[in-house]
């Protein structure tokens, strides 16, 4: 059966298992890395605004981010996609998306956004940049 495709094993005592031939798994991994590198190259040739507008179709909340944050989201998305593909750890990309979605939610709420920009009780002022020592 494995020569004809992936085999799903349903277990009574745990999560189902997926058996896949190693050559197919390797091809999937290589394909993900190639796609990530192609996306990086495409993004570098587009203006940040065009790249961000392309991601808005998939992530409509990107519209809630300021323009500078949209550019940073594109860069972070591309880097996380490539890292995920090369390490075969897709949680990296998922975490990046979660963090940016949370940032967009803050920007979408003007009251919360203003509160987070203002001083807090017992504010001791700006934190100085770290120094080497």
Distance CA 115, CA 92 (A): 29
Nearest to 104 by CA among 55, 36, 48: 55
pLDDT tens profile 4-53: 788 888 988 989 988 888 888 888 889 988 988 888 888 878 877 788 88
Indicate the burial class of 55 (C-beta count within 10 angstroms; 0-12, 13-18, 19 or more).
middle
For residue 63, give both structure tokens.
Answer: 């519209």
pTM of the complete model:
0.71
User: What is residue 95's predicted lDDT score, i.e. its pLDDT?
Assistant: 97
- Bridge partners (DSSP) listed for residue 5: none
């Amino acid at each position: 059966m494995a020569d004809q495709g992936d085999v799903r094993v349903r277990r009574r005592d745990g999560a189902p298992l997926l058996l896949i031939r190693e050559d197919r798994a390797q091809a999937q991994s290589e394909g993900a890395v190639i796609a990530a590198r192609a996306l990086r190259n495409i993004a570098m040739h587009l203006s940040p605004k065009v790249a961000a507008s392309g991601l808005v179709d998939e992530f409509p909340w990107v519209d809630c981010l300021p323009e500078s944050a949209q550019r940073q989201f594109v860069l972070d998305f591309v880097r996380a996609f490539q890292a995920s593909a090369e390490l075969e750890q897709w949680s990296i990309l998922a975490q990046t998306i979660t963090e940016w979605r949370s940032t967009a939610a803050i920007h979408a709420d003007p009251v919360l956004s203003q509160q987070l920009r203002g001083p807090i009780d017992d504010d001791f002022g700006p934190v100085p940049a770290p120094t080497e020592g």
